[in-house]
Amino acid sequence: MNILHITSSVRGDDSESTRVTKLIVDKLVSSNPEAQVVRRDFGAQPHPLLDGAAVGALFTPVDQRNAEQAARVALDDALILEAQAADVIVIGAPMYNFGMPVQLKNWFDAIARSGVTFRYTETGPEGLLKNKKVYVATARGGVYPVEADPQVPHIRMLLNFLGMSDHTFIYSSGLNMGPDAAANGQQAANEAVEAALA
């Protein structure tokens, strides 16, 4: 089993989403001792933004790229290869201002490449990152009912677009609503992890 462990919080060891992803990965490894884990901490080491230079490099034919363009594309290529090789992807997605951190959005921008991780067909787009299990640990200060959650639908849409339709979301909610609410939110996340990996 190949596990890709992605964290995106800027809070380091104080991050709840990171804590939960580590719990998930530890349980996966304990059940699969031969598992190989690749870790990407985008909170500590952000991936470059998708800017004009990056787009220019991507749209320049391979044999016409200069050294700087080739190096920039190679950074995205590495993330794509990791996603392709993974059997399980564990993602830490704290809620920042009702959405995902830019550090995580950069990863989606890097791996979403037409003809490689998705393609357009006569019937619409087809994701090519198939047959993967994805766990997403999201931490938020408040409590959001499913029908009013501003973050998860966007992440789910991106995963589905890329072909990763087998995903489980683990919620740590109410973290900024007082000590009792935070403890309850963390306990709910712990129980959800146990249920998901039972």
Residue 3 exposed, middle or buried by CB count within 10 Å (0-12, 13-18, 19+): buried
Rounded Cα–Cα distance for residues 32 and 13 (Å):
25
Q: What is the dihedral of CA 51, 53, 57, 58, to 10 degrees?
A: 20
Owner of token pair 């220019």: 56
**Residue ranges for the binding site?**
9, 15-17, 95-98
- What is the per-residue burial (b if ≥16 Cβ within 10 Å, else e) of 80-92? bebbeebebbbbb
Q: Which residues are annotated as a binding site for FMN?
A: 9, 15-17, 95-98
